[in-house]
Amino acid sequence: MCKANSGSWLVSAALLTLGPIATPGQAQITPDATLPNNSVVLPDGNVLTIDGGTEAGSNLFHSFEDFSIPTGTEAFFNNSLSIENIITRVTGGNFSDIDGLIRANGTANLFLINPNGIQFGPNASLNIGGSFLGSSAESLLFEDGSFYSATQPDASTLLTVSVPVGLQFGANPDRIVNRSIARSSFDSPVPVLPFPLSPNIDLANVGLEVRPDRTLALIGGEIQLAGGNLTASNGQIYLGSVAGEGLVNFAPTLSGWRFEKGDIVNAGNISLSNGSLLNTSGVGGGRVEIVGDTATLRDGRIFALTLGNLNGGGIEIRARELQVTEGSQISTLTLGEGRGGDIRFQVTDSVEFNGLGLENYRLVAGFYLTQGVINPFEAQIALLTGTAGTGDAGDIIIETGKLRLDNGVLGGSTTFGAGNAGNLRVRSNTFELVGSGINNGTILGSTGTGGDINIETDRLTMSSEAGLVSVTPTNGAGGDITIMATESIEMFGSPEAVFDTLISTNAFGLNGRSGNIIIDTQRLSLSGRSVIASSNGSIIGSSLLVSDAGGPGGDVTIRASESISMAGIIREDMELDSFSNIAAQTLNSSPGGNINISTPVLDVRLGLISAASLNDGDAGDITIDAGRVVLEDALVEVSVGAVAFLRDVSATGSAGELNLNADRLVVGRDARVTGLALGSGRAGNLNIAARELVLTDGGSIDASTNSGLGGNLNFKARDIQLRQQSRIETNAGNATGGNIAIDTDTLVALENSDISANSINDRGGQIAIDASGIFGTQFRDAPTPESDITATSALGAEFSGVVRIQTPDVDAASGLVALDGSTLNPSTQIQNSCAAALENRFVITGNGGLAEDPTQFLQPQTVWRDTRLGEIQSHLTLNPTGTEPEEFSVSTEPFVEATGWRTNSRGQIELVAASGNLSYSPWQPHPDCESVSQDSASTQSSGR
């Protein structure tokens, strides 16, 4: 006896350890006898009819010790049609295991509350007229303040006629699990979609389903959809997870209940996995709401598709973290006249999407960019609010601390029909886009317009072929892209990549107009194959997609309060498509957009800034306002017939205009600023104003043309330097050379650096230079190996252009002041002891002890040498510079003319006047006037 009891105790302990386990095939619906009028269960084969219960107004209360339904069994609540709410509690210690059918009469709502949890098996289904709420709460609260408790059944003896308004949870709410993939129990129609779904999705497997326009809610500890589905056509699905004590409030509505917007205190986890589906698709596309701590989708899907003329309800997720992986999808596509619902994420910490790999991403994105079509239910598309009907798509709103899309995720709001695409709005501290893309554009065959993309973040990082785009291959206009990043935007591209890392609005079909791009940040950095572009054509790698028809390109506006840096990849096999670039290009007959850049520092190394045309459309303009601009191996172009590495000499559009204002502009190693026209269109005009302009190491600024009108180059700078074969030119092939106007203080051109407006088969252009000083260059009739200024023609000198160089004419008398009074005759002021009869010379060799520069110090000692006499007789010592001079007095005696010299007692030479009491030794005899005259006469007579 004791041995048997011991074994029973061990089995019970094991069961408690493993948790409650239901026995398949065993009905477990047992009333608990806690109501004034208790529930009655009447079995009839596989049908368990539930009668009795206590009615209070329109509420019918049931109470069970156990409530489980095995496979193939039906539990039928036989309520009267006047009942609005069937309120069922489970007071025993077991969870409810339901793998059969729950049915009720009329349109009554069904509440099933079991604090020990609920599990719905693969065959579980519902056939009720109203809404369904399954919960592991302890009590149901009513509007009058009363409650119906499953843990304290005796405390709720006074049953109320009031309506339910809330759920009260205990300290450790148990989980709710759904694995149901049952077919509809009331033959609801299966939506017919114009696009194929993934093979593992079957909308006929509705799982737990309520009738159209009703609510299906699961609210418990942890909510798990492990391969199970929930369906509420045109209705509402609500999932709420509560990890501890808390209250969830709701209010009755015509479609069931409206749950409070506030976050759940002590929220728990919610997961969809193994192909689970939440589906509220219908005439008006219902609503899905998920509230928890962590929401996870692993191969899970949430569809709220609008199939008719009513507006969709949308999808909302409120959590601390949201993770979407393994081909999961969230979609509010509209296929009818109604507007699609919005997708809204309010996630405090992070939202992370992880896709199915970069290869699949490339296949889907490449097919879209080349063919203009895409299946909105491709497994790669994780997030979509699109339209395939006449109704407009909903918006995507994401508010989170960190947003990351990685490993081949596609998302956005796209139009497949006549409706317009929705907008994407992101507000996050950080936004990382890695090998993934968002497109708010249009699909080939649609007529709607693309949606806008608005991003507010501290830091945006894009890499590995990531894209933020609004692509339009149709008549519809593309959406705008606006990015506000308080700290930085960083874009990284790889030369081995199939696609660029890009921010782009692109219209490459029919008459579609590209959207605008607006970027406002502190620091913008582009490296490798990174692109910010608005164009009306498409360039993929080295391939070009261009339509002869098309709308205008959009504008690109970039404001960076600290700096903009652009850097490509340097390799031996480097091509231009390895550059980073900012572009507003036209590849068809419509005009291109403009580029506006404002920043203290613009540093472009292996980069491209292009507002160019490759067709009949006119190129746009570029305006740059910067403190310092440095260009190396870079190209800034407002060209026509040339877009980066592509050329088309048949282009007839005109080049644009460049307006560049900077404190210092450096056009360095092989960099080029150009308004080139390769076709018959006019070359561009370049207007450059800077304090200092430096061209060096092959750098050039030009507005050359082939056969169109030459462009104009206008420079206004304090200093202009051209070094190492740099060039300023408006040369032409079969047209007149362009014009160059330079206004500067100083122009320096060295090392074969030229300024030219030459032409081959027409007249040379005009060059006008107004400078205070010009150094190293001059006008020449023809180019030379020196630094030249030319406006020549290969047709001959008579076809040369005009060169006008204006420098200040210096008048030596300018500024002199006439003095009053007459001037003295110097001959009256000179003592003439005797007339000079011989010619004499005085030669100074070297600097004679003087400094070469007046700012240099004198040497402390200086030696004077008489180079004619050879040996130095004595030294003359000077006072060292910077030492205190000796005191001296100024003699007032009159000066006396020296007549000889002598050596004093210190060995110094003194100049002396003739006197009877002085003895001296002249280096040669001192002649008197008479002897000089005689000597002169004898010299003349001898013929010497």
What mean pLDDT comes out for the span 483-500?
92
Q: Inform me whether the pLDDT recorded for 605 exceeds 50.
A: yes
CB atoms under 10 Å from CB of 759, counted, come to 28
What mean pLDDT comes out for the span 217-225?
97
What mean pLDDT comes out for the span 339-365?
94
Q: Which residue has the higher pLDDT, 172 or 20?
A: 172
Output the pLDDT for position 253: 92
Q: Which residue has the higher pLDDT, 866 or 14?
A: 866
CB atoms under 10 Å from CB of 310, counted, come to 19
Q: Are 570 and 609 in contact (CB under 8 A)?
A: no
Percentage of the chain with pLDDT > 90?
Answer: 61
CA dihedral 196, 197, 203, 207 (to 10 degrees): 170
Output the pLDDT for position 545: 41
Which residue from 158, 160, 21 is spatially nearest to 95, judged by alpha carbons?
21
Output the pLDDT for position 373: 82
Q: Inform me whether the pLDDT recorded for 28 exceeds 50.
A: yes
Q: Inform me whether the pLDDT recorded for 89 exceeds 80.
A: yes
Q: Inform me whether the pLDDT recorded for 368 exceeds 90.
A: no
Distance (Å, whole) CA 193 – CA 209? 20
pLDDT band at 36 (very low <50, low <70, confident <90, very high): very high
Q: Amino acid identity, residue 397?
A: I
pLDDT single digits (tens) 656-696: 899 999 999 999 999 999 998 887 888 899 999 999 999 99
Output the pLDDT for position 652: 86
What mean pLDDT comes out for the span 257-280?
89
Give the residues across from 271 on adjacent strands: 224, 296
Distance (Å, whole) CA 277 – CA 302? 6
Range of lowest pLDDT (249-253, 269-273, 851-855, 896-900): 851-855
Output the pLDDT for position 653: 86
pLDDT single digits (tens) 327-351: 999 999 999 999 999 999 999 999 9
What mean pLDDT comes out for the span 390-407?
97
Q: Inform me whether the pLDDT recorded for 12 exceeds 50.
A: no
How far from the centroid of its chain's Cα atoms is residue 341's Cα?
Answer: 28
What mean pLDDT comes out for the span 352-373?
87
What mean pLDDT comes out for the span 442-459?
92
Q: Amino acid identity, residue 591?
A: P
Range of lowest pLDDT (144-148, 898-902, 911-915): 911-915
pLDDT single digits (tens) 851-878: 555 444 444 444 444 444 444 344 433 3
Put residue 372 in one of left, alpha, beta given phi > 0 → left and psi -120 to 50 → alpha: left
**First-residue to last-residue Cα distance in the chain:** 165
Distance (Å, whole) CA 609 – CA 656? 13
Q: Inform me whether the pLDDT recorded for 2 exceeds 80.
A: no
Q: Amino acid identity, residue 893?
A: E
Burial class (CB in 10 A: 0-12, 13-18, 19+), 930: exposed
Residue 731's alpha-carbon distances to 304, 678, 707, 757, in angstroms, are 62, 12, 11, 5
Beta-strand pair 139-142/739-749: unpaired
Distance (Å, whole) CA 297 – CA 812? 89
Beta-strand pair 501-507/530-535: parallel
What mean pLDDT comes out for the span 800-815?
77
Whole-number mean pLDDT of the chain? 84
Q: What is the DSSP string of 221-235?
A: SSEEEES-EEEETTS
Phi, psi angles (nearest 5°) of residue 794? -70, -10
Q: Which residue has the higher pLDDT, 331 or 642?
A: 331
Distance (Å, whole) CA 270 – CA 175? 10
| Residue ranges of the chain that CATH labels 2.160.20.10 | 44-200+202-297
Residue 773's alpha-carbon distances to 721, 732, 856, in angstroms, are 12, 28, 27
Q: Amino acid identity, residue 759?
A: S
What mean pLDDT comes out for the span 39-62?
96
pLDDT band at 119 (very low <50, low <70, confident <90, very high): very high
Which residue from 60, 77, 68 is spatially nearest to 27, judged by alpha carbons?
68
Burial class (CB in 10 A: 0-12, 13-18, 19+), 573: exposed
Give the residues across from 44 on adjacent strands: 47
Range of lowest pLDDT (115-129, 300-314, 436-450): 436-450
Phi, psi angles (nearest 5°) of residue 18? -80, -15
Output the pLDDT for position 473: 79
Output the pLDDT for position 623: 98
CB atoms under 10 Å from CB of 205, counted, come to 20
361: enclosing H helix or E strand = helix 358-371
Q: Inform me whether the pLDDT recorded for 830 exceeds 60.
A: no
Give the residues across from 396 on adjacent strands: 343, 424
What mean pLDDT comes out for the span 152-170?
85
Percentage of the chain with pLDDT > 70?
Answer: 80
pLDDT single digits (tens) 550-588: 678 889 999 999 999 999 876 555 444 578 999 998 877
Q: Are 43 and 69 in contact (CB under 8 A)?
A: no
Q: Inform me whether the pLDDT recorded for 83 exceeds 90.
A: yes
Cβ neighbours of residue 83 closer than 8 Å, sequence gap 6 or more: 55, 58, 59, 60, 105, 106, 108
Output the pLDDT for position 574: 47
Question: Which contacts of 356-359 are long-range, i.e. CB under 8 A and separated by 24 or more positions?
Answer: 356/326, 356/327, 356/380, 356/407, 356/408, 357/407, 357/408, 358/407, 358/408, 358/435, 358/464, 358/465, 359/408
Output the pLDDT for position 805: 96
What mean pLDDT comes out for the span 619-648?
90
- For domain 44-200+202-297, which CATH number applies: 3.40.718.10, 3.20.20.140, 2.160.20.10, 3.30.750.24? 2.160.20.10
Q: Which residue has the higher pLDDT, 619 or 882?
A: 619
